[in-house]
Chains A and B, each alone.
Chain A
Amino acid sequence: DAKTTQPPSMDCAEGRAANLPCNHSTISGNEYVYWYRQIHSQGPQYIIHGLKNNETNEMASLIITEDRKSSTLILPHATLRDTAVYYCIVRVDVGQGNTGKLIFGQGTTLQVKP
């Protein structure tokens, strides 16, 4: 089962910030939070990941609460092309190295409206 909980859908006005929440209350100390998105009929696209500190890249910002039990993905100026399913994933590690599989939940369908 997925270790994250996300709202099934959200709307956002074009040009406004989209804030997508994710709950991961059972996350363990060495697990990262990853965000991916999937635009219809394409493969998931990596957005950002983080462990404890807030992270920012050219696509988005990731805010992780101090207790690490939840996080928020922020798309600062949403465009119509940001309409997609957004997945919040806690990366499960198995053994040494980067051997973990990704466990996807149902994600949040973000609809950006003009």
Chain B
Amino acid sequence: KAGVTQTPRYLIKTRGQQVTLSCSPISGHRSVSWYQQTPGQGLQFLFEYFSETQRNKGNFPGRFSGRQFSNSRSEMNVSTLELGDSALYLCASSTGFRATPNYGYTFGSGTRLTVV
């Protein structure tokens, strides 16, 4: 079955602009989590959506936001981009239910955002 799809793969934006990244989870998965990866800070949790509701959030400023649609696809938005927002943004999908035998997270390949 198809994996987690993130688009676009690469993106270059200018400081002050905003950006929207997309994530399509594995079919049937209802949970989508977003992570930021930088060389200095490593992998950091941004937020998680389940059934169109944000149910967990990391320690990022309000410029970072997200949403989830009824088909479980998710988008994250970063407004007023800063140079420090340059990173690999990863999303991960899971069923969202503890009872699943393997409720490990499946990650996409990420979107590489460069802010200039």
* A residues adjacent to B (C-beta < 8 A): 34, 41-46, 49, 87, 94-107
CB < 8 Å: which of B44, B45, B95 contacts A98? Answer: B95
Q: Are A101 and B48 in contact (CB under 8 A)?
A: yes
User: Which 4 pairs across A and B sit closest by C-beta, in order of nearness?
Assistant: A43-B107, A104-B43, A46-B104, A101-B45
Q: Provide the residues of chain A in CB contact with B106, threshold 8 Å.
A: 46
- A46 touching B42 in the complex, CB below 8 Å, given contacts A41-B88, A95-B55: no
Instruction: Give the interface residue-count category, chain B.
Output: 20 to 34
Contacting pair B109 A98 (CB below 8 A): no
A105 CB to nearest B CB, Å: 7
Task: Contact check, A98 vs B55: say whether CB atoms are below 8 A apart.
Answer: no
Main secondary structure of the interface of A (DSSP, over half): loop
The residue that B98 contacts in the complex, of A45, A87, A98, A105, with Cβ under 8 A, is A98
- Does B66 sit at the interface, judged by CB under 8 A? no
Query: How far apart are A49's CB and chain B's nearest CB, in angstroms?
Result: 6
Residues in A with CB closer than 8 Å to B110 are 41-43
- B56: CB under 8 A from chain A? yes
User: Which of A43, A97, A102, A103 is packed against the most chain B CB atoms within 10 Å?
Assistant: A43
Smallest CB–CB gap between B45 and chain A, Å? 4
A98 to B102, CA, bound (A): 11
Among residues of B, the one whose C-beta sits closest to the C-beta of A47 is: B104
B55 to chain A, nearest CB (A): 5
Which residues from chain B contact A43 at a C-beta distance below 8 Å? 4, 90, 92, 107-110
